Structure 1
Amino acid sequence: MLRSAGVRFLVVAVLGLLMLIPLLMVSDVVSSRRTYHTDVLDQVGEEWGGKQVIAGPMLVLPVTEDVVEQRKRDVIDPATGRVMVHEASGLPVQESYEVTVSTARDPVVLLPGQFTARLSTRTELRHRGIFDVPVYQATVEMEFDFPLSQAEKLLVGAEKVDWAGAQLVARLQSNRALRGAASLKAGNTDFGLEPRNDDEPGLSVALNDPRGHDRYALRLDLNGADSLRIAPVGRTTKVEMRSDWPHPSFDGAFLPNTHDITDTGFVAEWMIPHLARNLAQASRMPASSASDMLRQASSDTSFGFSFYQPNDFYQKAWRASKYGLLTVALTFLTVFLIEGRRETPLHPVQYILIGLAQAIFILLMLAYAEQIGFGPAYALSAGATTLLLTAFGVFGLRLGRRAAVLGLMLGVLYAVLYLILQSTDYALLAGASLAFLALGATMYSTRNEEWYGPTGSAGWLLRQKPVPPPLPDAAPPQSPPLP
């Protein structure tokens, strides 16, 4: 390796860029482990009940119309009791008559007027291998009424509502999530809930004549994982959610009007008017279209919260791999400045070993974090890497006391990196500031450096033998002294 500081700096810079290869490989390992972790969460969550979205209830009122039809029938001879036939053709004699037939029309679909829902969840941790999966048990209590007076306004001609065939329908994400109580009450009347019979998940119940009831109360107990949502089906919708999960991520079509989050859980409230969602309060449509409306409400207008796990160690390990180049570059710069006084420059292989140790640090941190948590894993991995590189500086790089400078820099670097990984919002600010300060410190430390080498010319690119100075001219012969 050439003695020129400029050449050595360029070589170190190229080696730093080459360290992107192991850092990218480490990043792939982190992503693979994170994907595996996500798959375990999804698998256990689906076995427990999965994501839950509640849409409904909805009241479906059958509509019929009496239609007079013209029909024909064979004429019976009253004397013989036989069908009369034409003498010429032998065909039966027929007569016309009228019959009134009750024909089914598109039903009336009503959504609730005042809709109030209270949802509360209790979190449990399920274990699968080395992973903990948060799941919940939820209690859903809904109170609602229906604007029955709107039904008559949608009728046309001689149509009439078949009140006895009224059916209440609600949609769930999955029926297998239902546990414990599931009841529908109107005053002192209990209705028996049944699964829907139209290949859609959810519940249905025959209400007979709903005109005898003013308000309904529906209660469901269900299991779930990852998220809980509900659709605002009422003309006026008021929803309250309570949970013991301290890190909710409110999502969906609407954010809560108010919320209170503590270390022991949260309470959130929504108040949504009918103008805020594109659902008709009263409409006429086929039963299949009514199911489509509930499905659309589930996907387009539902809201709630997800069980967010803030800044988990997979996110931190992935971000550490992204900051890995900065960590390697700062370490290389420190070693470069420390070893500048050595008679023999360090070999590129020694720089590569330093970079590989810092790449393996990320794998160590992730592997131990899966077993003992992020904080202890980070302290153990950072301490081991700092001791290793400091010992390498003493015995491998022959830095002597200057290896203490390397150890101190690594301690500060890993402490700053820990703060960066802990703060998602300020990570970019901290990382950019650290890079700027490191560059400024390098500029200051190398302000007197002779980048072209001791010769001070472009000849630093080639090793040329020094040109010997010219020999002095031979002294002129002296004449012998006079006698």
Structure 2
Amino acid sequence: MRGSLGFRFFIVGVLTVLMVIPLMLASEVINSRKNYSRDAVREVGREWGGEQVLSGPMLVLPVSEEVTRVISEPVIDEESGAQQLDANGNPVTRPLSRLERVTRDPIRLLPGRYDVTMRTETEMRYRGIFNVPVYRAAVGMDFDFPVEAAETALVGQEEIDWAGARLVVNLTSNAALRGVATLTGDGAEIAIEPIASGGYLGGIEAAITDVRAIDGYRLDLGLNGAQYLQIVPVGRNTAVTIESDWPHPSFTGGFLPDGSTITDAGFEATWTIPHLARTLPQVSREDFTEAMRSNMAFGVDFYEPNDFYQKAYRAAKYGILFIALTFLTVLLIDRNTTRPAHPVQYVLIGLAQTVFVLLMVAYAEQIGFTAAYALSSGATILLITLFGWVGLKLGSRTPVLGAMLLVVYAVLYFILKSADYALIAGSTLAFLALAATMWLTRNEDWYGPGEPGARLFRREAKPVPTAPPQAPGSPAP
């Protein structure tokens, strides 16, 4: 590649674009490892208890109505005991009114006051080389029911079977329940049983025979979980407090906390949600459980912030920028030499920087991100610098290449550690590199001597006509 500097720029640009291919392959490897990690997290989390969403309590009140039904009763001959027949031989019947009690859709009553406190303790579980954060939660619920409002949902002659009332609390899975599980009404313990629904949704229920005589309830649950913990604001006035020793909470769901305190020792967050903020009727004949859980649940995610797979994937995305900067540095360093770098040498440099991303992921799975980045970037910088000295014969200009690589990988580390400032750091570095290139090449002859392109884009100067020499003594024209 001994042509003009412009021709070399063109070739290096093409090589830079081609380096997208190995970077894409590296990104696929990273995604594959990330999916493998997610599968491990999901499997361990499911075995521990899984993602927990609590909905309820809800008071389910059976409703029945006494109706009069008219039925046809066959007329029996008293002497023969057989059914009488008319002249045409058809059975003779007579209408008969009968009172029957039929079951109607139950009334579902949500709490008036609903105060919840959740305290979680996290720990790490391991599956192979992967760390999975799981938690143990102690949930306390204080609530009451405005039972007088239930009768507003009655129609006609319907009546509530107060003795058949059931209190229902839904969970994602009953397998998550561990330790304490007690329900009290005005201080008296009430027996609870698992919901035998046979469906995907678990939970507990309790028979409340004297629901109108109980002013307040207390439910305490101990449960295991992983990834996230959420609750549905079923109360007319809902107040929720979540405390945990997890230092990296991500608040999510239908409502964000009113306030939170996050430290290295954990976090505390509080929510206060009035009934006007939730689109749920206090009293209903329909079951809104699925809609509540899907649209209104809120809580916290227990996640690893900015994990090294995310960092490695972003490094691959920014890789083309840093490969281009390295190529540009090599090109500018040896632009005036008689033995410039060969395209194969540029490809080798680009492949070394692509392998850096894979090295970083492989070692990060074993020793953590920071140590893996230091090891991988140091090895890559040393390799390319030595290659510049031995392979490219840069001589005394080799430290320039090494210094540029140090700056590039220092900026890349800053980008990966600070996701919020990644764009400004990357774009600023690209702008400064472009500005430096424009300054260093301001006096370059891009066509070079004898280049065909010069005749196409340069306008040749036209000769100025001169008058023929005059003989001595001749008159001027």
User: TM-score higher than 0.5 here?
Assistant: yes
Indicate the larger mover: 191-200 or 295-304. 191-200
Q: 1:311-336 CA deviation, whole Å, 9 max, x = no partner?
A: 11111101111111111111111111
Q: TM-score, normalised on structure 1? A: 0.89
Partner Cα separation in structure 1 for residue 154 and residue 24 of structure 2: 67
Q: 1:53-106 CA deviation, whole Å, 9 max, x = no partner?
A: 01111111111122233445567899x8x7376598799886655432222122
> Quick one: structure 1 residues 85 and 454, their matched pair in 2 at CA, closer, same or farther if it must change by over 3 Å?
closer
Matches within 5 A, 1:39-58: 39-58=39-58
Partner of residue 316, structure 1: 311
Partner of residue 473, structure 2: none
Contact 1:177–1:224 (8 Å) recurs in 2: yes
Counterpart secondary structure, 2:335: helix
Contact 1:84–1:92 (8 Å) recurs in 2: no
Partner Cα separation in structure 1 for residue 364 and residue 234 of structure 2: 44
- Superposed CA RMSD in Å reads 2.1
For residue 270 of structure 1, what is the amino acid of its counterpart? W
Counterpart secondary structure, 1:341: coil
Contact 1:83–1:93 (8 Å) recurs in 2: no
Partner Cα separation in structure 1 for residue 382 and residue 399 of structure 2: 10
Partner Cα separation in structure 2 for residue 34 and residue 420 of structure 1: 20
Contact 1:452–1:460 (8 Å) recurs in 2: no
> Quick one: structure 1 residues 456 and 103, their matched pair in 2 at CA, closer, same or farther if it must change by over 3 Å?
closer
Contact 2:86–2:92 (8 Å) recurs in 1: no
Partner of residue 24, structure 1: 24
Partner of residue 110, structure 2: 111
For residue 407 of structure 1, what is the amino acid of its counterpart? G
Percent identity, aligned pairs only, is 55
Partner of residue 407, structure 1: 402
Contact 1:227–1:305 (8 Å) recurs in 2: yes
Indicate which of 415, 430, 452 corresponds to 1:420.
Answer: 415
Partner Cα separation in structure 2 for residue 458 and residue 74 of structure 1: 112
> Quick one: structure 1 residues 62 and 391, their matched pair in 2 at CA, closer, same or farther if it must change by over 3 Å?
same
Q: TM-score, normalised on structure 2? A: 0.90
Instruction: Give the superposition deviation at 1:456.
Output: 7.4
Partner Cα separation in structure 1 for residue 6 and residue 211 of structure 2: 89
Partner of residue 471, structure 1: none
Partner Cα separation in structure 2 for residue 71 and residue 442 of structure 1: 99
Q: 1:21-44 CA deviation, whole Å, 9 max, x = no partner?
A: 111111111111111111111111
Question: Is the aligned partner of 1:11 residue 2:6?
Answer: no
Contact 1:139–1:219 (8 Å) recurs in 2: yes
Contact 2:76–2:84 (8 Å) recurs in 1: no
Counterpart secondary structure, 1:376: helix
Contact 2:55–2:289 (8 Å) recurs in 1: yes
Partner Cα separation in structure 1 for residue 169 and residue 85 of structure 2: 64
Contact 1:394–1:403 (8 Å) recurs in 2: yes
> Quick one: structure 1 residues 460 and 152, their matched pair in 2 at CA, closer, same or farther if it must change by over 3 Å?
same
Counterpart secondary structure, 2:268: strand
Partner of residue 64, structure 2: 64
Partner of residue 262, structure 1: 263
Partner Cα separation in structure 2 for residue 107 and residue 227 of structure 1: 32
Gaps of 5+ in 1: 462-483
Partner of residue 331, structure 2: 336
> Quick one: structure 1 residues 311 and 460, their matched pair in 2 at CA, closer, same or farther if it must change by over 3 Å?
farther
Partner of residue 229, structure 2: 228
For residue 436 of structure 1, what is the amino acid of its counterpart? F
Counterpart secondary structure, 1:171: strand
Partner of residue 2, structure 2: 2
> Quick one: structure 1 residues 183 and 451, their matched pair in 2 at CA, closer, same or farther if it must change by over 3 Å?
same
Partner Cα separation in structure 2 for residue 152 and residue 393 of structure 1: 86
Counterpart secondary structure, 1:323: helix
Question: Is the aligned partner of 1:300 residue 2:295?
Answer: yes
Indicate the larger mover: 430-439 or 219-228. 219-228
Counterpart secondary structure, 1:425: helix
Question: Is the aligned partner of 1:140 residue 2:135?
Answer: no
Give the number of equivalent residue pairs. 453
Partner Cα separation in structure 2 for residue 75 and residue 352 of structure 1: 103
Counterpart secondary structure, 1:429: helix
Question: Is the aligned partner of 1:351 residue 2:346?
Answer: yes
Partner of residue 463, structure 2: none
Partner Cα separation in structure 1 for residue 303 and residue 417 of structure 2: 16
For residue 266 of structure 1, what is the amino acid of its counterpart? F
Instruction: Give the superposition deviation at 1:152.
Output: 1.9
> Quick one: structure 1 residues 88 and 392, their matched pair in 2 at CA, closer, same or farther if it must change by over 3 Å?
closer
